[in-house]
Amino acid sequence: MSYQALARKWRPRYFADVVGQSHVVSALTTALEQNRVHHAFLFTGTRGVGKTTLARLLAKALNCDQGPCAEPCGSCVTCVGVDEGRFIDLIEIDAASRTRVDDTREILDNVQYAPTQGRCKVYLIDEVHMLSGHSFNALLKTLEEPPPHVKFLLATTDPQKLPATILSRCLQFNLRVLRPEEIAGQLEKIISAEGLTFDESGLSTLARAAAGSMRDGLSLLDQGIAFGNGAVTGSDVRDMLGMIEHQHVDTLLRALASGEGATLLDTVAQMAMRSIDYMGALDDLLLVLHDVSLYQVLPKAVAAKQGDSDLVKQLAQDMSKEDVQLYYQIGLHGKRDLPLAPDPASGFEMTLLRMLTFRPAENAAPVSGSAKPKTKAAADAPTRKKAESKTAAPAGLDRAVAPPDSTEPATRVEAPSTPANEGAKEPVHDLADPDTWAQFVQDAGLKGVSREFAMNLAPQTYDSARGILTVSLTPSLARLHSKSRQNALEKALTQFSGISVSLRMIEAGEQAPETPAQNQSRREEEEKERAYKTLMDDPMVKDIMARFDATAVPESVRPGKQQRNSE
């Protein structure tokens, strides 16, 4: 008998066998028990999380000889037929290969006919988002008014591509990505039933590599069994996947913590002798750094997830919180830049060198093996550090950093001191003046709705002694006001006026002063009128209008840039 892949052999045959989708299973079994099964279901989620499996289980439950029931018997002709893929009233359609409207119409022409073998006819359309627009239109009418003996089960990895008209006619269930521990638990159950040897490290590594997909996890388990000659161990799995060894992770992070550049490069050279997945290697480093940061902040949380290893505890003591955060951010940038590097090995090495070189200045430590600076360079150190503080850190790193030095401990880069009043603005005392307010709105640099809010405020009174500016807003524009926008406006006002200013909002009356928006609108109208008058006074224009009996449309006249600049 030919070998059957584990993903097929261990496909769930009952709802209870489904892993990690209890929210969907509960809804489906309740609907079956109460005989309230909708005519159309949409299962969404990434690959290998159980979309078609749940659809087949629902088809089995609807047509079981003992049903419809929440727990199909699994032994009747219908259940066996569904499991073996030969139940005639379960019509499975791969939308990726049948996208034409003619294919869809051919399928739907048979919807009206009663089921041949079972209680109801079930259409399972996989990757339904691949259908064409015309195919969706052909499906829509049937979904809206289906015959009572028909159920539609749709599955997709990309529900955003489905028309809203299709979505509105389906009950939608979003299948979640499985956690590594859920996948590892199922893998352990399966490999134990198969009578094979394994260790927890091997299964946990496979579960993490599956990236939330149970089917991918089972496929990797098949591969691991073949690679390890019937045994699944951590070392074999890591060799199979080209992953970094645990001892390399330990050595690299300890070398980073102690600033041992030579050890770091020696370890990278050893890794280069193996077929390493450097993207996965960065992932391994980031996972440990995450556990270290979590242990530094919430030790109980990392203990609950069983990540409080001796390495994590030691690194949490040897590294500062700032160092860990910076290393993690550099690692993320390294993953982004790795495809752009001349080769993955050099990209990985450069990421580690960045971690070794850049660190928060107050935590900088000497790097062992680095050369002493020359006398001239040492003399120029203050100037050089000021220049490097602007350029040394990679893009996206917010903290001031300085390269560690073998002879001088790195110091925080300080900005030149400035007298408190030097360069300060003269206080603006007439904020209630409409022209001053209009000038403020123009210069404040406000964006979006915050600018629109300021443009429609009219200044009323200003108490300079208390720093309170009273402004009015038309009730019809009250939607523009929010606490965050008012805070932003007060901050900009304080910077503009030179003293602390707070706003007091009132409702605009009939005699409210002109707002910047009204001021701008008035100026534009005045410019249009002047432009129209200038145009009509032009002798050439008068001559053209007289010759051709032409007329000018005032609304079409716009002031030119030259006219605006001259004003």
Residue range 71-84, pLDDT digits in tens? 888 888 888 999 88
The Cα–Cα gap between 453 and 517 comes to: 10
Length of the chain: 567
Q: Is the pLDDT of residue 198 over 80?
A: yes
pLDDT tens digits, one per residue of 432-466: 788 888 888 888 888 777 888 888 888 888 887 78
Entry pTM: 0.55
CA dihedral 344, 347, 351, 352 (to 10 degrees): 70
The Cα–Cα gap between 270 and 511 comes to: 81
CA dihedral 123, 126, 127, 128 (to 10 degrees): 0
N-to-C CA span, the chain: 93
Lowest-pLDDT range of 365-374, 421-430, 455-464, 475-484:
365-374
pLDDT tens digits, one per residue of 93-117: 888 777 677 777 777 788 888 888 8
Q: Which CATH architecture best describes the domain 6-174?
A: 3-Layer(aba) Sandwich (3.40)
The answer to whether domain 180-241 has CATH 1.10.8.60 is: yes
The Cα–Cα gap between 28 and 43 comes to: 12
What pLDDT sits at residue 386?
A: 41
* Backbone phi, psi, residue 466, to 5°: -100, -5
pLDDT tens digits, one per residue of 137-164: 888 888 888 888 999 999 999 888 898 9
What is the three-class DSSP state of 59? helix
What are the domain boundaries of the chain? 6-174, 180-241, 246-368+380-391, 434-514, 532-566
Please name the residues in contact with 280: beta carbons below 8 A apart, sequence gap of 6 or more. Answer: 241, 242, 243, 244
The answer to whether domain 246-368+380-391 has CATH 1.10.1040.10 is: no
Lowest-pLDDT range of 126-135, 151-160, 474-483, 514-523:
514-523
Nearest-5° Cα angle at 114, 112 to 118: 140
Are residues 453 and 505 in contact, defined by beta-carbon separation less than 8 angstroms?
A: no
CA dihedral 153, 114, 29, 53 (to 10 degrees): -40
Are residues 389 and 357 in contact, defined by beta-carbon separation less than 8 angstroms?
A: no
What is the three-class DSSP state of 157? coil
CATH number of 434-514: 3.30.300.150
Kindly state the helix (H) or strand (E) to which residue 153 belongs, with its residue range.
Answer: strand 150-156
- Going edge to edge, which strands form the sheet with 150-156? 90-94, 121-126, 150-156, 40-44, 171-174
- Residue 567, burial from CB neighbour count under 10 angstroms (0-12, 13-18, 19+): exposed
527 vs 177, residue with greater confidence: 177
**How confident is the model over 326-331, as a mean pLDDT?**
92
Q: Average model confidence (pLDDT) for the chain?
A: 79
Confidence band, pLDDT 50/70/90 cuts, at residue 1 = low
- DSSP-derived secondary structure for 186-217: HHHHHHHHTT-EE-HHHHHHHHHHTTT-HHHH
Are residues 68 and 61 in contact, defined by beta-carbon separation less than 8 angstroms?
A: yes
What pLDDT sits at residue 55?
A: 92
